[in-house]
Amino acid sequence: MSRNWAGNLTYRAAEIVRPSTVDEVRKVVAGADSVRALGTRHSFSDLADCPGGTLVELAGLPPVVEVDSSAARARVSGGLDYARLSRELDRAGFALPTLASLPHINVAGACATASHGSGVANPVLSESVAALELVTADGDLARLDRADPDFAGAVVALGALGVVTALELDLVPGFEVAQRVYLGLPLEVLDEHFAELVSCAHSVCLFTDWAGSALTQVWVQQRVGDPEPSAVGRDWFTAVEADRRRHPVDRLDPADCTEQGGVPGRWFERLPHFRADGRPSSGDELQSEYMIDIADAPAALRAVDAVRAEVRPALQVCEVRTVAPDGLWLSPCYGRASASVHFTWDPEPTAALAAVAAVERALEPFDPRPHWAKTTTSTPEAVAARYERVDDFADLVRRYDPEGRFANDFTRRHPGLSP
């Protein structure tokens, strides 16, 4: 039995194969009626599954990281995770501007779903992608870059266009980050000061358990050399700095979390919440997450507050982050500076789904786009309707995969995601 990371999904593929060369990937794809790429299995939805068909894992490909220093770009093989990639990039003097909460995820899989970290100037991870190498439905190898009119549709493609065997990523110079955690910022502060708070540093993440009248934690990640976070010290910033390391789920061991307390460290050892050698998150959970317009964040959080009684019984923690807008057709942050409202739930599906439904009713007026990889009760039609380029994506799928070789139940359910 083969399951996803959270254990809430058993893949129904007939086989999972692990080729060791790109030519083998091409042969597998060309020879299969139904085939999909599988990354590090961190999605909670059935997005990656391939019932009755072949799942292709790229972790057996040679782990290539070719850095072109003069172009500030790296070519990265499709099987790599961010933990390994980040170490290699840092060694070469480079960095990525942002990382998700955990470095354990596969680069190709995270980019395929527009995974993100936090920061008003930091877009989704996929926005760093400058080019893709893709094994297409007939087993050919295509390269798409930003000059190609299909590119903006192909980066966040949910595995529906083919198997990405390599990515070229734009890099920034390596940097250091100091991370501080603050406790007890009153929720009412968000009504007036949300924008100031989330833009006070390179990355800011807000956590609450919706139990009291305050955020449980505010994580502030400041690039070393930048001015002090501008929110700290203001008369409304009444939070106090934590006197020891904290886990976002307060009852859990913070040893799995990245260093806090303002100790400077390399970007890849501070930007994720969880250490590469630690257990990410609680490990025993479901997740759901919604991207809304950042301008709506205070009102949307009030709306969630109003249903806290329905949310709390299933909740481990709620996290609010921000993401810069992008132009990638299926990115939940397409065309919109976003706030993401995330929930980590206890893994009891009935209670979690009741809470998810309550959250979705509360957020409905704010045009929420659910994270592709997470749990939702929204109808596929409602989700697809939130993407203005979904018809363009449908054209792309028809051209790249006319026979639906990469289609699965998830893409067939959602209008526009399969031919």
Q: Which residues bind ligand FAD (CB under 6 A)?
A: 5-6, 36-43, 47-48, 58, 78, 100-102, 105-106, 108-110, 112-113, 115-116, 158-159, 163-164, 280-281, 371, 373
Selection from 338, 374, 375 nearest residue 353 by Cα: 375
Task: Give me 233's structure tokens.
Answer: 């010290």
- The DSSP annotation for 301-333 comes to HHHHHHTHHHHGGGEEEEEEEEE--B--TT-TT
Selection from 92, 87, 106 nearest residue 267 by Cα: 87
CA dihedral 19, 23, 25, 29 (to 10 degrees): -140
Nearer to ligand FAD, 141 or 232 (CB): 141
- To ligand FAD, the closest distance from the beta carbon of 253 in angstroms equals 15
Nearer to ligand FAD, 180 or 371 (CB): 371
Nearer to ligand FAD, 7 or 365 (CB): 7
Nearer to ligand FAD, 164 or 301 (CB): 164
Q: Are 125 and 100 in contact (CB under 8 A)?
A: yes
Nearer to ligand FAD, 77 or 222 (CB): 77
- The DSSP annotation for 7-40 comes to SS-B---SEEE--SSHHHHHHHHHT-SSEEEE-S
Those residues whose C-beta lies under 8 Å from the C-beta of residue 249, and which sit 6 or more positions away, are: 281, 282, 316, 317, 344
- To ligand FAD, the closest distance from the beta carbon of 306 in angstroms equals 26
- To ligand FAD, the closest distance from the beta carbon of 100 in angstroms equals 4
- To ligand FAD, the closest distance from the beta carbon of 8 in angstroms equals 10
Nearer to ligand FAD, 80 or 214 (CB): 80
- To ligand FAD, the closest distance from the beta carbon of 168 in angstroms equals 14
- To ligand FAD, the closest distance from the beta carbon of 158 in angstroms equals 5
